[in-house]
Structure 1
Amino acid sequence: MELADKTVGFLLSLTSLSIFTYYTFWVVILPFVDSDHFVHNYFLPQEYAILIPVFAGVVLLCLLGIFVGTVMLKSKKKKA
């Protein structure tokens, strides 16, 4: 089981590092590259650099609110 945990941790770390590198290149370096360069074909338009994290944050906050609400309702039922 320990090897499986290490493998999952490694894959999560690798995925996080890949996303961070892609996003950093997209937001920080790409604006300084000529717009007709072939590298722009691998990235979405710049507007999505803000929209995607905002959307992900709103979804995360909604899921967190649902989780907290569910836990509070279950704890009220146990006390009553």
Structure 2
Amino acid sequence: MRFLVDILLFVSALFLPWWLVLLTASALFFVFPRFFELLLVAMCIDLLYGLPVGRFGNFQFVLSLGTIFLYLALAFAKRRIRF
């Protein structure tokens, strides 16, 4: 099940907007334990489509950096929520 979801998530990173992929991956974070694919898919999106951003000192991996903070926030929220 998880393997199929991972394949669909990485294929969606090719065709869907980045915000929709991250929204889907964030929802899947609450379904699967230790969903590191969230970080991997953000890295793939940055490698494929990322451009250096002048506001961040020409740093290319802005989405990946933001996803690390998102992962930490989701992990904190997941610990606080009862399932």
Larger radius of gyration: 1
Give the alignment's TM-score, normalised by structure 1. Answer: 0.35
The structure carrying a bigger helix percent of its residues is 1
TM-score by length of 2: 0.34
